[in-house]
Structure 1
Amino acid sequence: MRIDLGEDEAPEIGLVALIDCIFFLLMFFMVASSFKTPEKEEKPQKELPVVLPAAQMSLTRAAAAPSPLAIGVDKRGKYYLDGSKVGVQELHDRLKAEAAKNAQRPIRIDGDEDARYQDIVHVLDLCQFEGFTRISMRTRQ
């Protein structure tokens, strides 16, 4: 004799219990693991860790070197020579006079970060036209 128990239901996996088990294992491993903290927090370096060697010859030359002629260019394209505002023609005339005195005098160009590149190149052209070869650009530290 056959007993009818009702409809046959398909077996089902309980997802809630499975998620609870996985969460429990995750919490267990997170608590049981040890997180290693750095002993000394290092700050990021802003410059290269290089100590430059000193040479005796460079120290004696630095004292005898003439001070550089500072040419400034602001963001509007105006020129300054040793701190005083000059026009293009006056800058050219002063560079010509300096080249006649000492063509080996160093030139330092102080350009604003918003200055047009063409204005800086114009100053470089004037310096090279007058024969200056020791030209440098000043940057912010």
Structure 2
Amino acid sequence: MRIDLGHDEEPEIGLIALIDCIFFLLMFFMVATSFKQVDQARKEKELAIQLPQATATLVAAQAAKAAPLVITLNAQGSVFIDNTPLSLQALHDRLREEAARNPARPIRLDGDRRTPYQHIVRVLDLAQFEGLTQVSLRTTQ
């Protein structure tokens, strides 16, 4: 036996939820476009500089200069010059001698990727203290 409880309501689309979604999307796009305008305004405030370009003649001119002093740092932070281990005091003395001979001599730091950054900073500080400012970094594997 079937019991009839009245008229079944037909399903309808909930307009309130749809309007909420549309307003949410509208607010999202309004906020996203305002952030984009802030980025453009920030770019206008940056300094207009022209970066130098490297050419083969610059590389050849640098190659003609003195060969760099290669300082190697291993993962434990030990310092080597020409595969000879040095203490920090010996490194400091060697950098002082190099600065007295040629203050413009380039220095290259070869550091293991596991070398703590503090050891690298210590060598950079010693070089800067002695007036050796042409320092480049290279990593070894």
- Give the TM-score normalised by the residue count of structure 2: 0.57
- Equivalent residues, number: 91
SS of equivalent to 2:139: coil
| Other-structure match for 2:95 | 95
Shift in Å, 1:55: 4.1
Shift in Å, 1:82: 2.5
Shift in Å, 1:83: 2.1
Q: More helix per residue: 1 or 2?
A: 2
Unaligned runs of 5+ in 2: 2-52
Amino acid at match of 1:122: R
Higher-Rg member (1/2) = 1
Structure-2 separation of matches of 1:130 and 1:71: 15
| Other-structure match for 1:72 | 72
Structure-1 separation of matches of 2:112 and 2:76: 9
Rate the CA distance shift 1:115–1:103 in 2: closer, same or farther, 3 A: same
Unaligned runs of 5+ in 1: 1-6, 8-51
Percent of aligned pairs with the same amino acid: 47
Pairwise CA RMSD: 2.1
Structure 1 stretches of 4+ moved >2 Å: 52-56
| Other-structure match for 1:120 | 120
Rate the CA distance shift 1:125–1:113 in 2: closer, same or farther, 3 A: same
Structure-1 separation of matches of 2:89 and 2:117: 19
